[in-house]
Structure 1
């Protein structure tokens, strides 16, 4: 990692000591895949997709690194092509050894502040399956910290998933954000 890749720390929540926010690099893809797999709550994408995500969407994603530079958490996202003021947050995951320290919230704050400054985004969207209380808390507390409203609606009902057994995905629209 070069100095050009370093990111400022989150402006709203402090990063836990010894950790820093950075943009992911393609070399981080395997670590992000492992963190997602080990979360046991996220839909696990192919390892190839995490490599591509770190290459093609690094500007709208963030990784938390420990003192040695190893990824210990991440947020992946993209700016919606049809709604360039909206950052869609795809996945948030933290290594089990680092959970319970506010890392997910600090990553989310840091990423959204960076993307707002660089691209002018004013809103966040994400989808959450019913019963995922950790994600519900993460995003509703994010909205409160940023003085934003939250709208919810089912984006994809369960019957839209071709592989069956998938819960519906509820769209959370958060905004406008106050930075």
Structure 2
């Protein structure tokens, strides 16, 4: 739970994530810590995170909600290592066979992160619009494209 405030700040400073309330990050760190991961610097301060959860109707699917890395630490492969580590850990515990995320068109960093994850793990990537722009009630919002990555290869969960 102690990381909630830091995750909120990282999300806010990312410049490309939908910022949720600080309360939601505190709850996330309490209720979904087992399906999330935090990267830390040498002093133990959070410099990146991935939040995720197992889909209730598809418990072998890990949905990655948000990924953020502090600007000073980008370009070092932190997000890829977080994603690989999280998928391996949750995969081993829950026999995950699929990773899902949503990405807005034009978010090339996220597109690269998830397509390279799929390539490393021998998985296909299927894309479809999950939430079209008019569905968002709070103003202009790009569509959210669902990336479904799987099936994951067996070595991922070892």
Please indicate the TM-score interval, normalised by the length of the shorter structure: over 0.9
Q: Distance in 2 between the 1:95 and 1:31 partners?
A: 10
Contact in 2 for aligned 1:125/1:173 (Cα 8 Å): yes
Match of 1:175 in 2: 150
* Count, aligned residues: 154
Does 2:109 correspond to 1:134? yes
- Measured against aligned partners, the alpha-carbon deviations of 1:126-155 in whole angstroms (never above 9, x if no partner) come to 000001111001000000000000000000
Match of 1:95 in 2: 70
1:6-85 to 2 correspondence within 5 Å? 26-85=1-60
Q: Paired residue for 2:100, among 118, 125, 131?
A: 125
State the SS of the aligned residue for 2:138.
coil
Q: Distance in 2 between the 1:135 and 1:156 partners?
A: 17
Does 2:82 correspond to 1:107? yes
Question: Which consecutive aligned stretches of 4+ in structure 1 deviate over 4 angstroms post-superposition?
Answer: none
State the SS of the aligned residue for 2:2.
helix
Q: Distance in 2 between the 1:44 and 1:75 partners?
A: 14
5+ long unaligned stretches in structure 1: 1-25
State the SS of the aligned residue for 1:79.
strand
5+ long unaligned stretches in structure 2: none
State the TM-score, normalizing by the size of structure 1. 0.85
State the SS of the aligned residue for 1:27.
coil
Contact in 2 for aligned 1:158/1:168 (Cα 8 Å): yes
State the TM-score, normalizing by the size of structure 2. 0.96
